Structure 1
Amino acid sequence: MAARLIFLGRLEDAAGASEREVACGPLAEILATLDPALAVQLLGERVRLALNGVLLAEAGGVVLADDDELAFLPPVSGG
């Protein structure tokens, strides 16, 4: 069983790829398997999360199941 993490914008650069397949389970445990510097960026206060296309209010309590897709959306700037 596997889920996917999707990294957008500057987070893709930090992760070194646009996505990563991970084992299912609690988000906290999944993030613990990543590079600590990346995990800190992913949990930044301005980074939004979308689980299967639905924006989440907060990351607490997220548990990924088989075929789930969790996208990390950094703040957008520009004009």
Structure 2
Amino acid sequence: MKLELRYFASVREALGTSQETVEVPDGIATVGDVRAWLRARGGAWAETLAEGRALRMACNHTMTDAGTRLTDGCEVAFFPPVTGG
């Protein structure tokens, strides 16, 4: 499944990128699965997307939680709880 990932504010700064297109492996079915998969990259990814860290998520421009199911072509966004202009 191919996904469009977007990173905003301090998440973008920590990861050094604002967006990427990824092909996720089989078994990745939810927003939470994507977050865990990205954490497995290690380093800044593991720290920035750590379980329990305050982080907002959206799927296709709608605020979501970790259990939201994904379909091919979804846009998933990660950002801190408060984002300024």
Structure-2-length-normalised TM-score: 0.66
Summarize the Cα distance change of 1:32–1:77 in structure 2 as closer, same or farther, 3 Å threshold. Answer: closer
Q: Which residue of 1 aligns with 2:80?
A: 74
Alignment of 1:1-79 (within 5 A): 1-24=1-24, 25-26=28-29, 27=31, 28=33, 31-33=36-38, 34-36=40-42, 37-42=44-49, 43-56=51-64, 58-59=65-66, 61-76=67-82
| Root mean square deviation of aligned Cα | 2.6
State how far apart, in whole Å, the 1-side matches of 2:83 and 2:3 are: 29
Any conservation in 2 of the 1:32–1:39 contact (CA below 8 Å)?
no
CA displacement 1:8-56 (0-9 Å, x = unmatched): 0011122221011112433426642552241442245321101001101
- Structure 2 residue runs of 5 or longer lacking an equivalent are none
- Structure 1 residue runs of 5 or longer lacking an equivalent are none
Report the CA distance between 1:77 and its aligned residue: 6.7
Task: Give the number of the structure whose residues are more often strand, by fraction.
Answer: 1
Question: How many residue pairs were aligned?
Answer: 76
Identity of aligned residues (%): 32
Structure-1-length-normalised TM-score: 0.70
